[in-house]
Structure 1
């Protein structure tokens, strides 16, 4: 039986794995900038395993951006594809394209207890939706809805593009600085890897500091080493993420809990767990009580997006069997 291929493609990296009998294997991470198209990257991945496309029957790609229609252009990447063109080029039986945070949400259904750290304890409502939110190249947001017979349905969206909510005079001053540079200020303009850099530069401009840090990694390391400006950057980042997550729970009724995922926070996970995320998450005035018992976890699983892509593909194949 031919294995399937699954991919989790973000703005910076594309992760690929084989999916066989409900499990991933042979995981590789490729930089999207090094390949002209997804097809070229897939052929490179298969070649590195000594395989050719004809040995793969089915493919699921979890793609950053809204997925619909024949043609897809990746958000935060130069890649694009045609469903028909890719299927024919790789001689596939089935091609499934899903939003990357649809895959991430489905990946939460395969988590083990040791793959999460508690951000805030509470009592999850088993009949309510679950929120999945994660800063990476952008800010992903998705909702996992329970269905009868222990099934799950995902409501994909573009929650990273909501307006950045302001909750203090300091935040207002920084929002004004960001607005003067970018116009409309979205949540992911701050809550992403590039957002850390934007926030750092906004603070430096506002407070007349000399900016000397240029990357998210440098900012994270400086904060953990005690740099006061970098500490404020991470602190505000965590507070803003809590506020955006709390807003999303109010909107979707996701009292089944919140999973925080993505590639940014693992750089400073201990700092994050001790941050103002939990307080800002609940600070909703007269509706604060609605969020008091909603638990939140930081996901430490290595490849939840690939796992979720495999789950999505398996569901498709089971339906068509």
Structure 2
């Protein structure tokens, strides 16, 4: 793979994305969500801060200042999650016709007739789309910080790092579905088929998987929870109680495995968990945070690998 050719293809794709109407439309919607969420959150933060200052003034005269207080992180989780949910559609819209559009116009055959390798083409298309998504999220992050400064809210070093981490997690959620759409663009014969397939998988991983793994439908996979060996007031033998405890442990283990599978298969579920951990004020990062990050990377990596292999074996006629 030649970096010069790769950069040329990526640059062309980036410019095409940034100039497209769909990119402008979704970016506009994301900015509206950010402005509305930040203005509301900043106003609430200012009110909470004023109320906290009044409470501190009263408490400090009695038993000294108390710990805690409002944090700017309190409204970033919901804002970034809402931005990412809209951005998911931007990612799908940017990726579903990257290859099928050129198949339908016959320009892909002309492109591959030049001295360019297929891995440079698919990698360049992916890099151009990811760069355009990074631009959109960069604008969102800068705008959100600007709104905070307008309200006189300056985050501390730890808060700034957590805000940046939340923005990166939202960015990777959008990239995940961009790569998913890119994969179906290499598989489907038409752009319509790639779009329908992308949205079908999106519905499955965004709605069906969470319900079956962490929602009300999880009992379909884990089975019913074990019942106590006897009603209250009755004598229970040691063997019955031991069997009940063993069944409870097995049921808990099944629930854990199902939830872990749901985190792996549903980027939205994983994204919510990571954002809650990152943007919860005063709460340290959980010990299994690295596992969530790895699971978050599996989804786009797997679909990009499939798209890469499929495009290299594509029969272009």
Specify if TM > 0.5: no
What's the TM-score, normalizing by structure 1? 0.26
Which of the pair is proportionally richer in strand?
A: 1
Could you tell me the TM-score, scaled by structure 2's length?
A: 0.26
Q: Which one has a larger percent helix, Structure 1 or Structure 2? A: 2
- Give the structure, 1 or 2, with the largest relative contact order (CA under 8 Å, sep 6 or more): 2
